[in-house]
């Protein structure tokens, strides 16, 4: 699979499921990704995605991972007013009329 990422991006979502501290296969995969990213620096990109706390825990498995990952983007959760605005925009784009968001049970929950 890694060979197929020729000049591109390897995106791994929910990467924390590898759980390298408790799973030997996960540890082996993380070490392989670390070597791959180091050997192909500047040629290929590896994006590790997931919940912030879990990804930080994952990166603590090998201190070299975090130090070699200079770019980190954190996407904060939407606030309820933002979710309502997105909802109304999506409905408007589809030419659907929304009389009252609450009448449709549109409420943000966490």
**pLDDT tens for each residue of 52-93:** 999 888 888 877 777 777 788 888 889 999 998 999 899 999
Quick one: which of 30, 34, 13 has its CA closest to 21? 30
Both tokens assigned to 52: 């912030």
pTM of the predicted structure, to 2 decimals: 0.62
pLDDT digits (tens, 9 = 90+) for 28-46: 988 888 888 778 777 788 8
Tokens of 16: 């924390």
Q: Any idea where the domains of the chain sit in the sequence?
A: 2-67, 77-110
């Amino acid at each position: 699979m890694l060979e197929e990422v020729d000049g591109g991006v390897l995106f791994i979502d929910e990467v924390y499921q590898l759980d390298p501290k408790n799973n030997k296969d996960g540890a082996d995969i993380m070490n392989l990704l670390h070597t791959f990213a180091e050997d192909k620096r500047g040629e290929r990109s590896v994006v590790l995605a997931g919940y912030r706390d879990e990804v930080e825990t994952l990166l603590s498995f090998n201190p070299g991972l975090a130090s070699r990952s200079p770019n980190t983007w954190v996407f904060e959760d939407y606030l309820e007013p933002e979710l309502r605005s997105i909802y109304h925009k999506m409905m408007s784009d589809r030419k659907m009329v929304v009389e009252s968001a609450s009448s449709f049970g549109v409420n943000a929950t966490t």
